[in-house]
Chains A and B, each alone.
Chain A
Amino acid sequence: MQSVAKQKMMALAGDEAVAYAAKQSDVDVVAAYPITPQTIIVEKFSEYVANGEVETEFVCVESEHSAMAASLSASVTGARAFTATASAGLALMHEMLFVTSGCRAPVVMAVANRALSAPINIHGDHSDSMAQRDSGWIQLYAENAQEAYDSIIQAFRIAENLDVLLPVMVGLDGFTLSHTLENVETLLDEGVKEFIGTRQFPKVLTHEGKTVPFRLDPANPMTVGPLALQNYYFEFKRQQEEAMENALAVIQQVNSEYAKISGRSYGNGLLEAYRLEDAEVVAICLGSTAGTMKTVVDALRQDGVKAGLLRLRTFRPLPVEEIQSALAGVKAVAVMDRCLSFGGNGGPVFHEVRHLLYEAASRPYVVNYIYGLGGRDTSPTELRSIYENLQRIIQTQRVEKPIQYLGLRD
C-alpha cells in the first residue's frame, strides 16, 4: 500500500458503481438489454453516452441473446466489450455464453443476481449464474458495492490477460447490492486507465501462414468460430480448461496489484478467510451474505465460539487447493447455497466443496444450507443457528440432516 492513489468517495448503488467502473475502463462497445435488477447499469451508462462522457458505441439490442452475440463479435473484432444482465436475461444468453468463451473473447459482464421464473420473481438469489457455471466463464461474486466496482475494473485485466483470454462475469446480489446506496471509494480515471492498459492480442498462426494478432482484421484474414470436428474439437476444449487453470494465478496477481493502487484487496482474490485461524465451525458463502455473516462470527467469537467464515469470491475457476488448505483443521463446515440444484442432492457450492474435501487430510462434517431464494431475507439470528447446528454436529459426531433449508416457511 506504499503508493495508494488519490481516490474519490462517491455514494453509489451497486449498479451505479458497476456502470461507473465500466465507464472508467474505457469500454469500446456496450451491447445490452434492460432487465431488473440490472437496469440501472444500462440506464447510467446510457447517460454517460448521451452526455459524451464516454467514447463507447452503445448498442441497444433487442434481446440478451443479441447482447451477447454483439458483445462477442465486437470483442473478436478487437474492441473492449462490456454488458450486463440478470436472471432470465442470463438464461437467454446461455447458448452465446459458451460461444463467447469458446471464441476466447474477453467480454466482461455484470450479473445482478436474481431468481429464475416460474413463479416470476425479481429479487436476489444465485440461480441465474449458478446455472451458467459450466459455460466457460470466470465467475466473481461481490460482497458489497465497493467490491462490485473494484471487481469490474479487475475483470478486464483478468479477462484480457493473454494466459487467460476468457470472459468474466461479476455477480452482485440483486437489490441487496444492485439498488442499495453505499459509500464507494473510486479511483481516478487516469488510475483505472493505467491499471487496465490497452487491450493486447495474442499472436496466432493464420491459414495464410502468417503470425498475426488474434482479431478480425481485413489486413490479416482469419476464420473465427469454425466447424471443428472429432479430430480437433477436444483440443479446443482442453485449452479452455488450461486457461481456467491459468486464471487462478492471474486473479491473485491482479488482486494484489490492485491493492497497491487502491489499498483494497479481497482475500487473495480467490477467497477471503474471515477469522479462520483457529476456527472449528466454518460457514462458506458467496456474495452479500458474507457481510452479515461477519457480524455473526464476531458475536460468536465474543461468546467464545471458534467460528469462522470462508467467502468464495471466485467460484470459477474453483480454487480447490486454496479451499482445502483454508479448511484444514476445521471440524464442521456449513456450505451455503442461494440456489437449488433440483434433484441434485444439495446446492452447487455444496457439491463442489464436499467433493474437494474428499481428498482432504482430515475430512470435516459438511452440511448444506439452501437459503434466500427469491430474495427471502436472511437474518443474523438464522445465520447464528447455522453455527449452533455445526456445534451440535461436532458434539453428536453425526450429520443428521445434510441438506437444510434456512428461513423456509414450514
Chain B
Amino acid sequence: MTTQEWKFTTKDIAAKPDLFLSGHRACAGCAPATVLRLIMKATRGPTIVTESTGCMEVVSSIYPYTSWAVPWLHTAFETAASNASGIEAALKIMKKKGRIKQEHVDVIAFAGDGGTYDIGIQALSGAVERGHDFLFVLYDNEAYMNTGIQRSGGTPHGAATTTSPAGSVIPGKLEYKKPIADIMVAHDMPYVATASPYYWKDLLTKVRKGLEVEGPAFLHVFAPCPRGWRSNPAKSIEYSKLAVETCVFPVWEAVSDEYQLSTPSKLVALAPQKKKPVADYLQGQGRFRHMFKPQGKKLLEEVQRITDERWQRLLMKCEMAQKP
C-alpha cells in the first residue's frame, strides 16, 4: 500500500473507521486527542501502538474501558521507544519463524513532550540508532499537562507553568524550547517531520510517509492544550494554524536529512510580508499573559527575536533563505 492509493480526502477520512475511539476522557478542546484520532486514520494496515505514560495514555485506557481498536501497550513514562524496539524485534523474529499471520505490522509509539524531550530521549535516541522500523509520534502540548502543567524541555521561552510561574522576579520559563526534531535529524534517520493538526492533510500524509519508510521515522506534532495553556478550548485548532503562520512552529520534513518546508510554511517563506507577528499567536493564551503587561514588553520582543532566528536557520537548511 502506498500513499498514492489513498488520497486522504475528507470523504476517505470520514469513511475510514476510527481506531482511536470516542468515549475517552480527554478535556474539551484537547488537541492531542484530535491528533491521535487523525493519525490513526492514516494507518495502512495491521498496526500495534505503544504509548508512554501521559495524558493520552490515561484518558484512553481506564480499565475496563479502552479507546484503542488496535493492540496497544503502555509500560512506563520513558519507554515508548524501547517498547517499540521490543515489539518490532518480536514481530520480526516471529514472522521469520512463521508464528504470525500478518505480512507486515506497523509499530507506532506515541509520547508527549515529557516522554520525548526529557525522560524518554535516551530510549528514543537508542532505538533510532539501532534502526528499528517504527514511527515515533511526539504530541507536543509543551508541558507536563498530565501531572498539572509543569515545564518540560519542550516548554517555550517565557511560558508560565506551575514549575516556571511568571513571578515578580522570574517571568516564566527562562530556557528555550529544545529543537527536538533537529536533534532527531542529526541521528541520520530516514524520515523526520513536523506537523500541525490544522493542516490535517499534511499531517496524515506525513504519518503515512513515516510508516512507509524502512527504519525509524519521527513525527513532531503540535498539540495545543487549553487547560495547560489557559486558552479557550474552542481555539485549539486556531492556535495550531497561528503557530505555523507566525513561524513559532513551522512545518517541514527531512527525508534522509534533506530539509524541505511543507506547503503551509513554504507559503510564508515565499511571501515574507504575510508572516504574522508572534503576538497574534501568544495573545489569548494565559501562559503568556505576563508578556502583554508593560513589564513583559522585553520578553515579548525576545520571543519574536528567537522565533525569527530559528525561522531563518530553518530557511537556510531548506535553502530558501533570502540573499542579504
Contact = CB atoms under 8 A, between A and B. Distances in A.
A228 interface: yes
A187 interface: no
A225 interface: yes
Contacts of B58: 227
Interface in B68-127: 68-76, 78-79, 81-87, 89-94, 96-97, 99-102, 105, 122-123, 125-127
B122 A62 contact: yes
B205 interface: no
A99 B90 contact: no
Contact of B86 (A69, A217, A222, A232): A69
A324 interface: no
Contacts of A70: 82-83, 85-86, 89
A60 B85 CA distance: 10
A250 B262 CA distance: 59
A79 interface: yes
Contacts of A216: 48, 71-73, 87
Interface in B283-323: none
Given A55-B97, A232-B64, A65 B123 contact: yes
Interface string A70-81: 111111111101
B28 interface: no
B90 A218 contact: no
B47 A218 contact: yes
A408 interface: no
B58 to A, nearest CB: 5
Contact of B75 (A29, A31, A72, A220): A72
Contacts of B84: 73
A69 B89 contact: no
Contact of A222 (B71, B85, B102, B126): B71
B68 A73 contact: no
B90 A29 contact: yes
B324 to A, nearest CB: 43
Contact of A76 (B73, B76, B81, B102): B73
A72 B78 CA distance: 14
Interface residues of B, number: 50
Contacts of B125: 62
Interface in B12-55: 46-48, 50
A395 to B, nearest CB: 55
B57 interface: yes
A68 B93 CA distance: 18
Given A66-B123, A66-B126, A69-B123, A207 B66 contact: yes
A229 interface: yes
B61 interface: yes
Given A63-B122, A66-B82, A73-B83, A229 B62 contact: yes
A99 B76 CA distance: 8
Most chain B CB within a 10 A radius of its CB, from A31, A69, A223:
A223
A77 B87 CA distance: 6
Interface string B218-254: 0000000000000000000000000000000000000
A73 B82 contact: yes
A50 interface: no
Contacts of B99: 78
B97 A28 contact: yes
Interface string A269-289: 000000000000000000000
B74 A79 contact: no
A219 interface: yes
B75 A69 contact: yes
Interface in B122-155: 122-123, 125-127, 129-130
Most chain A CB within a 10 A radius of its CB, from B63, B68, B125:
B63
B93 A56 contact: yes
Contact of B76 (A59, A95, A228): A95
A135 to B, nearest CB: 14
A188 B76 CA distance: 39
A61 B86 CA distance: 10
B73 A73 contact: yes
A52 to B, nearest CB: 12
A81 B73 CA distance: 17
Given A79-B94, A225-B73, A66 B62 contact: no
A166 interface: no
Contacts of A218: 46-48, 70-71, 102, 105
Q: Identify the 6 closest CB pairs spanning chains A and B, nearest first.
A: A62-B126, A73-B86, A70-B86, A218-B46, A69-B82, A79-B90
Given A69-B75, A72-B86, A207-B66, 13 more contacts: A66-B123, A70-B85, A71-B86, A79-B89, A79-B90, A96-B79, A103-B75, A216-B48, A216-B73, A219-B102, A223-B66, A225-B75, A226-B66
13 contacts: A28-B90, A29-B93, A65-B123, A66-B123, A69-B75, A73-B50, A74-B90, A77-B94, A218-B70, A218-B71, A223-B66, A224-B73, A226-B61
